[in-house]
Chain A
Amino acid sequence: MTTATTGTAAAKAGGNAGKPKPATMAQALQRAMRDAMAEDPTVHVMGEDVGTLGGVFRVTDGLAKEFGEDRCTDTPLAEAGILGAAVGMAMYGLRPVVEMQFDAFAYPAFEQLLSHVAKMRNRTRGAMPMPIVIRVPYGGGIGGVEHHSDSSEAYYMATPGLHVVTPATVEDAYGLLRAAIASDDPVVFLEPKRLYWSKSDWSPEAPAAVEPIGKAVVRRKGTGATLITYGPSVPVCLEAAEAAQAEGWDLEVVDLRSLVPFDDETVCASVRRTGRAVVVHESTGFGGPGAEIAARVTERCFHHLEAPVLRVAGFDIPYPPPMLERHHLPGVDRVLDAVARLQWEAGS
């Protein structure tokens, strides 16, 4: 990707939405920050390259120009320092929104995240909340070299004190980010980078209402089995559900949107209706998010299940080189294979 062309493209598409035209997820995210910054002077955006460049994915494009470098700040290149400084800023009443350029680049900041961001409210018995949003472009599928395609959500999910959310649609990108910035608790905001350029007719001029964090949504109604998924795997599951119709399978697709807190109610209501479930994500399977989700569903819906809860996940390998990533990422066929293993003849 050449920065010049992407920059120009983003500049053309963003900002002035005079004529209604499809908006991208990146534009919706940018709009969410812009609206939050305009409404609340305590909201500060910071990170490496977020200012003049507008972020390597142009998600923060124009914010420094509009709000000044004190509100949208290019920091030194140091993730622990970025997040550690954000902790101090939150202590003084600001609401920092920090960008961790790429998933695997966030790891140096883990000590600040785990030891302070996640625990400060608890350590101080509620006296010091941490209203920080940590934006992390995550996941593969864009041909990135190593350390640019990790799905780190299991680490974040395993840390009490953090909220973990991830949008799959342009509308949710706006709504969830607004909700995350408004939250008095820290939110790890996972942005599926291969969906940055996905589009919808969402209008930046009339943004949808902000929904509270923690609600899953049924993206497709079905009766035969539930695909439980989130983020970059949502479009995969929707496509699989369409293809499954040819096999006579009517699949429901639940988009979690929020991994923490987890919406047991929506997920389990769906599984009880359908009696079968497959969890789909591109993160690794062993000890991954699907392990927790499958266990929760089994504990709560065992007597409604016609088959074991299956997982379709990335392989348990370090993220593969870009030329091989299509073999690792769960695609439509792998989802359909799992659905086929749900012992259809035994149940319905």
Chain B
Amino acid sequence: MDSLQQRSSTVQEPPGAVTAHRHTPSPAWQPRTDPAPLLPETEPLRVLGTDAVADADPALLLRLYAELIRGRRYNAQATALTKQGRLAVYPSTTGQEACEIAAALALEERDWLFPSYRDTLAAVARGLDPVQALTLLRGDWHTGYDPHEHRIAPLCTPLATQLPHAVGLAHAARLKGDDVVALAMVGDGGTSEGDFHEALNFAAVWQAPVVFFVQNNGFAISVPLAKQTAAPSLAHKAVGYGMPGRLVDGNDAVAVHQVLTEAVARARRGGGPTLVEAVTYRIDAHTNADDATRYRADGEVEAWRAHDPILLLERELTERGLLDEDGRRAAAEAAETMAAELRERMNADPVLDPMEIFSHVYAEQTTQLREQAAQLRAELEAEGEA
């Protein structure tokens, strides 16, 4: 605490001292926290394919499976909608479904989710209407839902800026005596932003009930992780803030669910924040505007396809006799029904009221906005008459 100040005072030799250069002993220094318990696993935690999976609840495994199948289908459908011009853009999470689903399922209803623009799937898995989740990407309104309804903050386009919001909300909830946890999602690129640092620092200092969940999918658009950070892992960054870092295989839905559930429980009982890094891979390009062949080799993608989150879970369920052909078909059919409904609803043109652009700038419109609204109304009326 005061050690820096005291130490600096010791380097000044007393005036007139002629003795040989002799330091007074420096005041004892101790690290503020033992860093060892904060350090992440030496390699990403895996549960599927290990003995640890025996402890997993079969009902949870089946739930995760159904949601992964639905999520994969959602990604495919939304990608198709961009090709049809129904969506302006869609940042796919194909290959990352385990992270998205496990994140949503680790939360209680009263908890809050703070998603980035890529995390539509987590929002849908949390119960948000699939069409409402796409409002931003469709260009309809910026947020297509009331955040309070499912406790999902608006999908956030600027990187990492939603992380301090999660800290503030969790802190406020604790001040009010509510045992609410905030889960804040961010990509590997987002960890380079200043807001990532400030959010983690605030959360640790305030011991706020927040879980920071980094989906490290290998690339920030085209920039690989090696050009993003020199840290041993993104989970290692936690130590510098005084919070535990956890490293998990992001394609292992059970492992992700386990780690996040533990982190959420820890936050809820007053243990403070955790930084979780899930190592995963973005199978699709960043968005439909991106050409991923310019910055990564096909072989790399194929290697990750062999480590597909659905494949890993399906193998486990099949081996344990929890899933057969009928089960697979039922999950696929449920996903297909969701996709058909999404397609149908997205094919209807949204009806927008242009006058609404003035409605939500302030609680009460200023004189200036009322004048501008009158101008637009007149223009619309003239258009109608023409």
Contact = CB atoms under 8 A, between A and B. Distances in A.
Contacts of A76: 198, 201-202, 205
A140 B205 CA distance: 34
B176 A184 contact: no
A314 to B, nearest CB: 25
B30 interface: no
Nearest to A161: B361
Nearest to A118: B361
Given A81-B195, A81-B202, A261-B368, A126 B161 contact: no
Given A89-B171, A116-B161, A127-B147, A81 B366 contact: no
Nearest to A186: B362
B361 A84 contact: no
The 8 closest A-B pairs by CB, nearest first: A88-B168, A84-B164, A81-B198, A85-B168, A88-B169, A92-B172, A261-B366, A88-B165
B205 A89 contact: no
Given A88-B168, A93-B172, A111-B161, A125 B360 contact: yes
Interface string A26-55: 000000000000000000000000000000
Interface in A104-129: 108, 111-112, 115-116, 119-129
Interface string A45-78: 0000000000000000000000000100001101
A294 to B, nearest CB: 16
B98 interface: no
Contacts of A111: 158, 161, 195
A86 interface: yes
A59 to B, nearest CB: 22
Contact of A89 (B143, B168, B199, B356): B168
Nearest to B144: A125
A253 to B, nearest CB: 22
A260 B168 CA distance: 27
Interface string B363-384: 1001110000000000000000
B363 A185 contact: yes
A78 B356 CA distance: 36
Interface string B212-230: 0000000000000000000
A119 to B, nearest CB: 8
Interface in B136-190: 141-143, 146-148, 153-154, 158, 161, 163-173, 175-176, 182
B370 to A, nearest CB: 10
Contacts of A265: 367
Given A163-B362, A261-B368, A262-B367, 6 more contacts: A76-B201, A81-B199, A86-B168, A120-B154, A122-B360, A122-B361
B201 A121 contact: no
B201 A84 contact: no
Contact of B142 (A78, A88, A123, A185): A123
A262 B153 CA distance: 32
B7 to A, nearest CB: 21
Contact of B201 (A81, A87, A96, A119): A81
Contacts of A125: 141, 143, 356, 359-360
A92 B173 contact: yes
Contacts of B158: 111, 115
B194 interface: yes
Contacts of B202: 75-76, 78, 81, 85
A83 B198 CA distance: 11
Interface size of A as a range: 35 or more
B169 A78 contact: no
Contact of A91 (B169, B356, B359, B363): B169
B288 to A, nearest CB: 23
Interface in A152-189: 160-161, 163, 183-185
B263 to A, nearest CB: 18
Given A127-B147, A214-B366, A85 B154 contact: no
A250 interface: no
A264 interface: yes
B171 A128 contact: no
Contacts of A121: 360-363
Contacts of B205: 76
A70 B175 contact: yes
A40 to B, nearest CB: 14
A96 B182 CA distance: 19
Contacts of A161: 361-362
Given A84-B198, A85-B171, A88-B165, A262 B143 contact: no
A116 B198 CA distance: 16
A91 B165 contact: yes
A291 interface: no
A336 interface: no
A80 interface: yes
Contact of B172 (A89, A123, A185): A89
A85 B360 contact: no
8 contacts: A76-B205, A81-B198, A91-B172, A92-B168, A96-B168, A123-B143, A161-B361, A163-B362
A229 B208 CA distance: 44
Contacts of A218: none
A177 B167 CA distance: 26
Contacts of A10: none
A111 B199 CA distance: 14
Contacts of B360: 121-122, 124-126
Nearest to A184: B363
A89 B169 contact: yes
Contact of A92 (B141, B154, B176): B176
A47 to B, nearest CB: 13
Interface string A190-222: 000000000000000000000000100000000
Contacts of B168: 84-92, 96
Contacts of A94: 172, 175
Contacts of A93: 172, 176
Contact of A185 (B154, B182, B362): B362
A126 B141 CA distance: 12
A214 B367 CA distance: 10
A115 B161 contact: yes
A41 to B, nearest CB: 10
Contacts of A185: 362-363
Contacts of B147: 91, 124, 127-128
Nearest to A87: B165
B109 to A, nearest CB: 16
